[in-house]
Amino acid sequence: MGEVNRQGFLTKEGGSWKSWKKRFFVLRGGDLMYSKKPEGGSLGIISLKGAGKIEPVEYKKKEFCFSLQTPERVWYMCCSSEEDRKNWVEALAKERNRVNAPPKAIPVGGAVAPPKPIGLEDFDLLKVIGKGSFGKVFQVRKKDNGQIYAMKVLNKKAIIKRGEVQHTLTEKNILKNLVHPFLVNLYFTFQTQDKLCFVMDFVNGGELFSHLQKEKKFPEPRTKFYVAQITLGLEYLHNMGIIYRDLKPENLLLTDDGHICMTDFGISKEGLTCEDDRTSTFCGTPEYLAPEILQGVPYGKAIDWWSLGTLMYEMLAGLPPFYSKDVQLMYKKILTTELKMPEGASPEARSMLAGLLERDPTKRLQDPKIIKAHAWFKTILWDKMIAKEIPPPYVPPVKSKEDSGMVAAEFLEQKVEMSPTFSNTLLSDNQQALFKDFDTAKSDGAP
């Protein structure tokens, strides 16, 4: 685990015939990982441990190349521009220096002390930016480097009481393995006697929910931009064997520059690696539930594409397609009511909605390759979209990556403090054992 320092496409020299292949690279945790596509399927890892020179080169009449010297070999890669090459060389050199820096050891009786586990004392609490049934979310600053994060703090007792221990641990397991441009990054998890702490990206462009509430509905090009980025995020999750199960506007944040960031994996399901893998838990948000969940039959990844269709419809029309204040009536409408297309939607958008909101999951549009090739997406350049090279249609009015102006005033007005620890909030040894594998990071070498 660790911060994603840089990611994007590079053209790499490799193979027995020294051919050049375009690959998607992610620089994270001292390794340069690469795969054919951003959605997963790793082909290799280049460790920066022991790496030497990283510098721009003129190589075999290729443009914007640089070399990376490792103990095993010298790697040659080409970028899309001089600026891209400059940024890659700087990012790689910085990470190489961090990985190969001498360890900071503290002598204790002649021995080297182990790294100090990271904890609350390593962060300054700045503002309250969210609150839920299990705890609060704070904007925090890491003391050693000034980096800004969001810290979700959950009450252990409340988690146990509501039977959410497994969901919480699943969320941690999922988040620690995710590396994707449109999914939130997790950097640290640690615990106190009565609390669990997740330290993640501070994403400050506001919830898609709040933007949609304010504007009622979005123009079709803006809707298409968001749906395209969510499609890439779902494709990656599914390739990782994960069903999201809670796609809704409240779980979609905008970054400071206007890109989608998918969050909250508390009810996601991992381990569904085969096409015919199924699960059967009834969970999710009523407006976005697929028919097969309501029918109580085993379901697979197709439910996420139904939710995407519901979300796409809501962005175009202002409300989900089968919405009703009466939840039971809404469930009946999801199962039986004919789909009425949003007024003003293009023929291509209508076709996409019809495919995603097909009640029979075996007939539903759910293959990412087919979805991305749909006529509605004909103007989308997918390589540029995943690399965040397509300008977003809307940029939130924030002044910097630290600006909390898009956070609801009701949170910002709250006192910035942890809830106190009382004797009745402490756990027994057996209860503490439920969280024994929660901590995932040490303070040494962390971002």
Query: Which pLDDT tens digit goes with each residue over 21-71?
Result: 888 898 888 889 888 877 666 678 888 888 888 999 888 788 999 999 887
Checking if the pLDDT of 445 tops 60, the result is no
Angle at 364 between CA 362 and CA 366, to 5 degrees: 100
Domain residue extents for the chain: 4-99, 120-203+403-433, 208-386
- Contact call for residues 139 and 129 (beta carbons, < 8 A): yes
In this prediction, residue 114 carries a pLDDT of 61
Q: In the predicted model, what is the mean pLDDT of residues 364-374?
A: 96
Q: Match domain 208-386 to its CATH number in 3.30.465.10, 3.40.50.300, 1.10.10.10, 1.10.510.10.
A: 1.10.510.10
- Contact call for residues 304 and 238 (beta carbons, < 8 A): yes
Question: What confidence category does residue 439 fall into, taking pLDDT thresholds of 50, 70 and 90?
Answer: confident
In this prediction, residue 443 carries a pLDDT of 38
Q: Which of 246, 256, 264, 304 is catalytic?
A: 246
- Asked if 264 is an active-site residue, the reply is no
The class that CATH gives domain 4-99 is mainly beta
Percent pLDDT > 70 in the chain is 91
Half-sphere exposure of 228 toward its Cβ, with a 13 Å CA cutoff?
28
Residue-wise pLDDT tens digits, 75-114: 889 998 888 899 899 999 988 888 887 665 555 555 555 6
Is there a shared CATH topology between the 4-99 domain and the 120-203+403-433 domain?
no
Checking if the pLDDT of 232 tops 90, the result is yes
In this prediction, residue 113 carries a pLDDT of 58
- Contact call for residues 302 and 278 (beta carbons, < 8 A): no
Checking if the pLDDT of 255 tops 90, the result is yes
Whole-structure pTM value = 0.78
120-203+403-433 classified as CATH 2.40.160.40: no
